[in-house]
Amino acid sequence: MELGIIALATLASLGRVLALILLSIVSGWFLSYFAIKSRKFENIYISFVNIFESIPVIGFLPIVLVVFITGLGGTLGVEVAADFLVFDAIVWNIWIGQYQAFKTIPQPLIEVSENYNFGWWGKMKSLYIPFSYPRVSSDIFPSFADALFYIMISEVFSVGITSYKAFGIGTLIVQATSVGDLNSVYECLGVLAIGVVVITLAFGNFSKYAVAKYGLNTSTEIKRHVRYWRPHIRKWRAVGSPTFQFAQYTTKMRTGRENIQSAMTKVRTSRSFERTGKYIGTAIAWLFLVFIGYSSIQVMLSVPHSLWVSYFAQTPNLLYQMGIDYVRVLVVTVISFVFAVSLGYYLAVHRRVSIASLPIIQTISAFPAPAYFPLVFAATAPFLAHVIPFAETEIFVMILCFLGTFYYVFFGFWVGVRAIPVEFLELTQNYKIGFFTKMRRIIIPATFPYLVTGLSSTINSAWGGLAVAEYWPNIFGNQTLQVHTGMMKVISAGLVNGNIGLAAWTSLLFAVVVGVYSIVFTRNLMDLARKKYVIEEGIYAA
């Protein structure tokens, strides 16, 4: 492969991601502004974003792609489908962050802008947008990483014997790995790595700059923090990373008494108003699921009658396969959680190590696992097949899911730990509270809102990981990675082998289950986090 082409493809892929990040940020400013101005819109918007954040849209990938490709046709359809997937991977996180930032603007600053009649654009330009920079700058890390994770499945896609490709580095890597052209794979990964490092560094600098310039000066404003800090703590605090300062400033928002105005608006709007808004937001999210259902049915209608009967007959089996996938998601989530909590806690209390290793962790987490995974597979598959032949594929699936998901809960937890008031930690030292009690009684509850946000994203991307890993034809040369049982495999394999009807029926079942799950589980967990563990708008600071 020519280096020029590789560079161009990398630019195309990264450009696509960056452009969509930009689009998310700009649209998020406006949407968030409307959300904080109109209670009605706020309810719709937040329910919508919350539900979408917890729906694994990526799980419906095949159907979504079929809709775009048949709807828009050829090249354009493939490009829009790729953009749609990337957008879905990045947007929710950024939108929620901006909304939360807008909600936590100190009341005095808002009053100044009203007192002197800044006007709509004046408020945006001089207050809301600048205030959101620190938050946005820290949210683009996971968004960027998530978008890159799907770079291959969003760029290359085959239905039956037809294969659709959007131009980009993901496509090149898929081509090279499927013919076992190692040199080209290395070249692609090398060039991509350069791109990822450059962008991560740029994001890191933006984040530092944003917090330094746009963050509130907490060290002087939260007097109670400064006063009790021992000298060595203050020292590593001074060299602390932007994320840490960011964490402090969100805590400040939580502990501040600045919420009079929002509390007032809250009282002024009537309850029924609120409820209507929530219903509308939920309805919009459901519309998406209905759309998936409709598309699935459309696809099924094109399939002969006799096949339907066989799909219906397979339903119990499909539900069983879905159950297996839920177990996989659960296992990956638990592993990520334990890993994130231990590593996050370790790094949070060992500042020196964290300052050195954080940029490295950020870069690694942004480097798309599926891109280098075939190499890991090729290198270890024969060995694993020999040692544990029964669990070989399971281990690969777990590794890939883990690589794609852990950083969400990790970064969330890490920010949360550093936002814990130092008094809490001093208390644990003072009274010699043991490690497990400290974790269970203080650290986990104090970081709970952060963990919930991180966990729901983790669960969501775990599904994405399964979509990639359960069925991967030609992962390396003519080898195929596939699990024995798994719903994601049924969907992907169904499409690749031209059994579109089965894929559609499975997606439909999944859509129904996910809808129910998101309503009974995710929302309740969020509410719990909100009610029990945070004062006021703390959840928005998470």
Partner 1 sequence: MNTQTLNGSSETLGEVQLECKDLAYSYSASHVIFKDINIKTYTDELVAIVGPSGTGKSTLIRVLANLIPPTAGHVFLNGTEVKTPSSRISLVHQSIATFPWMTSLDNVKIVLRNKVKDDEATEIAKKMITLVGLQGHEDDYPKEMSGGMRQRIAIARALAASPTIMLMDEPFVHLDELTANTLRGDIYSILFNPENELKSVILVSHNLHEVVQLADRVYVMGGTPAQIINEIKIDLPRPRLEEEPVFYEYVKMLYNDLIPKESKG
Q: Binding partner of residue 112 among ligand ATP, partner 1, none, CB under 5 to 8 Å per kind?
A: partner 1
Q: Binding partner of residue 301 among ligand ATP, partner 1, none, CB under 5 to 8 Å per kind?
A: none
**Quick one: 420 exposed, middle or buried, by C-beta within 10 A (0-12, 13-18, 19+)?**
middle
**190 near partner 1, rule: CB under 8 A:** no
Q: How far is CA 173 from CA 87, 183, 258, 375, 511, in A?
A: 21, 11, 51, 11, 31
**Quick one: 1 exposed, middle or buried, by C-beta within 10 A (0-12, 13-18, 19+)?**
middle
Question: Of 175-183, 223-231, 262-270, 287-295, which segment contacts ligand ATP by CB under 6 A?
Answer: 262-270
Rg (CA), the chain: 24
Which is closer to partner 1, CB of 114 or CB of 527?
A: 114
Instruction: Figure out which of the listed residues 263, 290, 353, 520 binds ligand ATP, where binding follows CB under 6 A.
Output: 263
Which residues are bridge partners to 159 per DSSP? Answer: 162
Q: Binding partner of residue 531 among ligand ATP, partner 1, none, CB under 5 to 8 Å per kind?
A: none
CA-based nearest residue to 86, from 139, 149, 135: 149
Instruction: Figure out which of the listed residues 23, 80, 127, 233 binds partner 1, where binding follows CB under 8 A.
Output: 127
* Contact yes or no for 540/103 (Cβ under 8 A): yes
Instruction: Figure out which of the listed residues 41, 214, 286, 291 binds partner 1, where binding follows CB under 8 A.
Output: 214
| Window 267-306: residues binding ligand ATP (CB under 6 A) | 267
Which is closer to ligand ATP, CB of 223 or CB of 386?
A: 223
Residue 180 and residue 172: Cα distance in Å, rounded? 12
Instruction: Figure out which of the listed residues 260, 297, 309, 391 binds ligand ATP, where binding follows CB under 6 A.
Output: 260
Which amino acid does the sequence have at 121? W
Q: Binding partner of residue 221 among partner 1, ligand ATP, none, CB under 5 to 8 Å per kind?
A: partner 1
CA-based nearest residue to 448, from 413, 407, 406: 413
Q: Binding partner of residue 302 among ligand ATP, partner 1, none, CB under 5 to 8 Å per kind?
A: none
Q: Strand, helix or coil at 92?
A: helix
Instruction: Figure out which of the listed residues 115, 272, 429, 430 binds partner 1, where binding follows CB under 8 A.
Output: 115
**493 near partner 1, rule: CB under 8 A:** no
Residue 499 and residue 496: Cα distance in Å, rounded? 7
Q: Binding partner of residue 109 among partner 1, ligand ATP, none, CB under 5 to 8 Å per kind?
A: partner 1
Which amino acid does the sequence have at 466? L
Question: Of 170-178, 214-222, 389-397, 423-431, which segment contacts partner 1 by CB under 8 A?
Answer: 214-222
**215 near partner 1, rule: CB under 8 A:** yes
- Phi and psi at residue 414, to the nearest 5°: -60, -45
Which residues are bridge partners to 165 per DSSP? Answer: 156
**264 near ligand ATP, rule: CB under 6 A:** yes
Q: Binding partner of residue 323 among partner 1, ligand ATP, none, CB under 5 to 8 Å per kind?
A: none
**Torsion, Cα of 443, 457, 149, 155 (10° steps):** -170
Residue 421 and residue 23: Cα distance in Å, rounded? 35
Which is closer to partner 1, CB of 161 or CB of 267?
A: 267
Number of residues that bind ligand ATP (CB under 6 A): 4
Question: Of 36-44, 60-68, 118-126, 263-271, which segment contacts ligand ATP by CB under 6 A?
Answer: 263-271
**302 near partner 1, rule: CB under 8 A:** no
CA-based nearest residue to 459, from 33, 44, 58: 58
Instruction: Figure out which of the listed residues 118, 286, 291, 339 binds partner 1, where binding follows CB under 8 A.
Output: 118
For 297, the token pair is: 């049915």
* Element spanning 481, H or E: strand 479-482
* Contact yes or no for 66/295 (Cβ under 8 A): yes
Is the backbone of residue 534 left (phi > 0), alpha (psi -120 to 50) or beta? beta
* Contact yes or no for 464/538 (Cβ under 8 A): no
Question: Of 93-101, 103-111, 183-191, 309-317, which segment contacts partner 1 by CB under 8 A?
Answer: 103-111
Residues that bind ligand ATP (CB under 6 A): 260, 263-264, 267
- Residues in contact with partner 1 by the rule CB under 8 A: 106, 108-109, 111-112, 114-119, 122, 126-127, 130, 133, 213-217, 220-221, 223, 260-261, 264, 267
